[in-house]
Chains A and B, each alone.
Chain A
């Protein structure tokens, strides 16, 4: 069966420090991968998605970047965090190409607090 892992689960960082959140998927190949941010426990904002290694699409101009160095690894980064980067970050995957069944499967999230 497929599983998705995100870490760290919780992170407290000072303003101006770097960020790296990691997401890996197991049990599938060539997944489409997504990073979302959820502010104040409500709506989801799509940040990045990727359909393959090295292929990143950015949905919203941010102080953030994403990379996909391996097929099942998706990394969210920042060189210098802002207070507004605080939030709950969710990674998600779906089957790529013909194995896509329409729904996304989410990780457990990473809560980032920038002080």
Chain B
């Protein structure tokens, strides 16, 4: 069975500093991995995905994520955080042909 874990409920970072939001997964085959962002009272917005190929995936708003097969991780990163990046971030995984499974979310707070 597939599963995804986001070990941090909240991540705090100062504006201008690099940020990392952690995600680990468990699937039976080769995973499809995703990151979404949710601003207050809004729907989820797709940020980036890994299907195959280069382990470093670049997405919207300057975010990127690194697929690490040996550590079964797909951490979200950004070199320099903005206050406007403050939001709820969801990692998701799916086995091809199966449904998308979401993590519990990590709240990112960027302080000026």
Contacts and interface: CB of A to CB of B under 8 A. Distances in A.
Q: Do A and B come from one complex?
A: yes
A109 B42 contact: yes
Interface string B9-53: 000000000000000000000001010100011111110010100
Interface of A: 6, 41-44, 46, 49, 88, 90, 92, 102-109, 111
A14 B58 CA distance: 46
Interface residues of B, number: 22
A74 to B, nearest CB: 14
21 contacts: A6-B43, A41-B40, A43-B104, A43-B105, A44-B44, A44-B102, A49-B99, A102-B32, A102-B34, A102-B94, A102-B96, A103-B46, A103-B49, A103-B100, A104-B100, A105-B46, A106-B43, A106-B44, A106-B45, A108-B43, A109-B43
A109 B49 contact: no
Contacts, number: 44
Q: Top 3 nearest A-B pairs by Cβ distance? A: A106-B43, A106-B44, A102-B32
B90 interface: yes
